[in-house]
Structure formats: C-alpha cells, structure tokens
Amino acid sequence: MAGTTIYQVAQEAGVSPSTVSNLLNGRTGKMLPETRARVETAIRRLGYRPNRAAQQLRTGRIQMLGLIVPSVANPFWGTFARHLEAAALAEGFYMLLCNSERDRDRERHYVEELWGDGIGGVVLCSSLPSLDHVKPTVEAGLRLVAFDRTAQPGDPHSVVNIGTDNVLGMRLVTEHLLGLGHRRLAFVSGSIGSINRAERYSGFQQAIEAAGLPQEAGIVWSGADTLDFDDRDTAELGRSAARELLAAANPPTAIVAINDMCALGVIAGVREAGLTVGRDISVVGYDDIMLASMAMPGLTTVRQPVEEMASTAFTKLRQGMESTADSAGHSVLHRPRLIVRDSTAASAALAVKTPAHQGGTR
C-alpha cells in the first residue's frame, strides 16, 4: 500500500524493471557492481517493498503458513503458536492462525481454504485419529505437518508427524510414583479416543506391568461420555474424578491425570475432600503448562519441549514446500522430560519413615 512499484525504482535507478527484479531475486551473476549499487540505492531511497500479491500471482508461491489448533485459548496451544510464529518469522514467513474448536469439519474447511488461497504448508494440531478429511487436499499437493500425533496407517504419504513419545512420558511419571512407593494408582481421563490419550494410557499400563504389579493396581477413571473438550470441562472432570475416587472404598494414593488442566481439577477436588496434595495423596499431570509451576503445590508433570518441536515443525514444513518432489512422510518423536515438583511425595504407607513434605526438586 506504500505504493512504490518496481517501475518507479527502475526509473529512479535508470535501469529497466527487469534489472531490478533480477537483483531482487538474486540473479546477480552478470551484473555490474556499479549497476547493482545504483539499484540498491534507489530501493532504499524510495523505501520500495515488493507487492506480495503480485509476487504470489506470478510465482504461485506465498511466504505464509497456516496453523490450525483446537483453541488458542488453551495456553498449551498459545505457547506453541508463539514459538511457531517466532520460527516462521525468522525466515520471513507469516502465520495464519485458525481455531478448529476440535471440529472435524472446521479442520477440513480451513485446510481447503488455506490451500485454495495459495498457502502451501499447514501445521495441523488435530486430536482426531484419522486424517481422512484432509487427505484429498494433501494429495493435491498441500504440505501438512501433523503435530502432537503419531503416524497412523492410512495417512497420506507426505505427512510429517511431530510429537513426543507419550508412552515414554507417561511411563516416566508413573514410574516416578511407583518409585515413591505408591501401589494403588488411578488414571483419570475423559474418553480415550484420541491417539495420544491412548498412548498415554498405554504408558501408564506398561509401567504398572513392568513393576510386576497386578492389573488392579491401576484404577481407570474415565468420564466416558463427557464432552471434555473445553479446558474448563477438563478441569471439572478432574474435580469430580477426585471426589469419586476418594469417596470409594480403598482409594488410590496417587492420581495420574491425562493432562495438566485435568490435574489442576484433581487438586481442587482433593482439597475439597479435605486432603492435602503432596502429603496425603500425590497427583501428576502432563504437558507442563505455565500454571503447573504456579499451582499450589507445584505440579509434578511431563514437559514436552514445545519450542524445539515448533522449530522442527517449521523446518519440516519448509523443506516440504521447497522441494517439488513429494518427499516421503515420517515421524519425529521428541523426548518428554519428567518435571518433579511438590505434588508428589512418598506414599502415605511409607510416610512414617520419610518426612512428609519431601519429594520435590523445585
């Protein structure tokens, strides 16, 4: 809108528009240093900036990527969005943000719309097990990086998956609890429909088995039909889970929540039941959102290296967009990390020989 065109620059520098274009696009091979300098000066003097619309129209490409997340109101996605934007911006790419609200049709619609508008690459954060709804677009040529998801049979070829090892992550916290002497753990989740929820659950089970404990040591509390897609609901879910679990006969000594929001709800529920988290009962979450460190007590959880993952996502996307050959898809698994805080402590059964408030490396 500044309105300076390549023609004005050309005139100012006393050359043709082609020359300016050549310079702009790095075709400086055969160009007198003097000419080059003249053009560069003119560009600077006029404050010329190429018109992106014209560039895109001509080249078909555009320096922009799309990000589709369930909802940026959720701090986990907000954080991811921020890091992805930073990675993109460093290479001159803009980022279009889209909230899918976890709706399949909205995901599809966005993907098609973005593709139709000339955006060549999209990072899709979907919790859906299948990518069928976007398959046609991907097969038409869209570069798709799926985030927080593991490759599934039937996925379109070129899709790159980026995530953390959920099985491992959940094993880590579960083993942490087992190491503290807990022998009766509850796993709290909404429906285990999404891929990573299933993976997390599997990690939980594996840890219990590996410890040689009977299946019954792991109680599963699943709000089955609850539509726990909203964060507030997720937390609420944790709250009711805690209430129910603690009211039952032979309650667990530790509760494993499917994610941090859920864990925060659990903490609230435990407190309402008159117990103290980190003393009477241990609670762990997953994700390490900002609130996890600020909660009282600090929440033991599993951190996903979000920044690193964002950077990988952008790199992969870009690679895909540049090569014309249809690169084969694959998965990049980042390593999750156990973050121990004060919400976990030795099981009450051992509490006699261990100081009550121990357990946190803060």
Residues binding DNA (CB under 7 A): 3, 5-7, 14-19, 21-22, 24-25, 30-32, 34-35, 48-51, 54-55, 57-59
Query: Closest distance between a copy of itself and the C-beta of residue 296, in Å?
Result: 6
The stretch among 29-37, 54-62, 252-260, 315-323 that binds a copy of itself (CB under 8 A) is 54-62
Our CB check for a copy of itself shows the closer of 76 and 201 to be: 76
CA 221 to CA 223: how far, in whole Å?
7
The verdict on 291 binding a copy of itself (CB under 8 A) reads yes
In this structure, are residues 69 and 101 in contact, taking their beta carbons and an 8 Å threshold? no
| Nearest CA among 78, 83, 74, 66 for reference residue 306 | 83
Residue from 74, 126, 164, 344 in contact with a copy of itself (CB under 8 A)? 74
The verdict on 265 binding a copy of itself (CB under 8 A) reads yes
Backbone angles phi, psi at 304, to 5 degrees: -95, 135
Residue in the block written with tokens 């619609």: 109
> Which partner, a copy of itself, DNA, none, binds residue 290 by CB below 5 to 8 Å per kind?
a copy of itself
For residue 258, what are the CA distances in angstroms to 16, 69, 154?
A: 63, 19, 27
The verdict on 157 binding a copy of itself (CB under 8 A) reads no
Beta partners for residue 185, in sequence order: 218, 254
User: Between β-strands 185-189 and 254-257, what pairing exists: parallel, antiparallel or unpaired?
Assistant: parallel
Q: Considering just the CA atoms, what is the radius of gyration of the chain in Å?
A: 26
CA 221 to CA 180: how far, in whole Å?
22
Query: Closest distance between DNA and the C-beta of residue 32, in Å?
Result: 4
Q: At what angle are helices 33-46 and 17-24 packed, to 10 degrees?
A: 90
Site string for a copy of itself, 192-231 (x = CB under 8 A): ---------------------------------------x
> Which partner, a copy of itself, DNA, none, binds residue 157 by CB below 5 to 8 Å per kind?
none
Peptide bond into 305 cis (omega under 30): no
The verdict on 356 binding a copy of itself (CB under 8 A) reads no
Our CB check for a copy of itself shows the closer of 35 and 293 to be: 293
Residue from 14, 90, 141, 157 in contact with a copy of itself (CB under 8 A)? 141
CA 292 to CA 290: how far, in whole Å?
5
The stretch among 11-19, 66-74, 183-191, 320-328 that binds a copy of itself (CB under 8 A) is 66-74
Residue from 51, 202, 331, 354 in contact with a copy of itself (CB under 8 A)? 51
Residue in the block written with tokens 């890091």: 83
> Which partner, a copy of itself, DNA, none, binds residue 25 by CB below 5 to 8 Å per kind?
DNA
Residue from 118, 154, 179, 193 in contact with a copy of itself (CB under 8 A)? 118
In this structure, are residues 79 and 306 in contact, taking their beta carbons and an 8 Å threshold? yes
Residue in the block written with tokens 């898809």: 329
Our CB check for DNA shows the closer of 62 and 292 to be: 62
The verdict on 232 binding a copy of itself (CB under 8 A) reads yes
Residue in the block written with tokens 């000066």: 41
Our CB check for a copy of itself shows the closer of 23 and 64 to be: 64
Task: Map 9-42 to HEC letters.
Answer: HHHHHCCCHHHHHHHHCCCCCCCCHHHHHHHHHH
* Contacts to a copy of itself by CB under 8 A: 1-2, 49, 51-54, 56-57, 60, 62, 71-75, 77-79, 81-82, 85-86, 94-99, 115-118, 120, 140-142, 231-232, 235, 264-265, 267-268, 271, 290-291, 293-294, 296
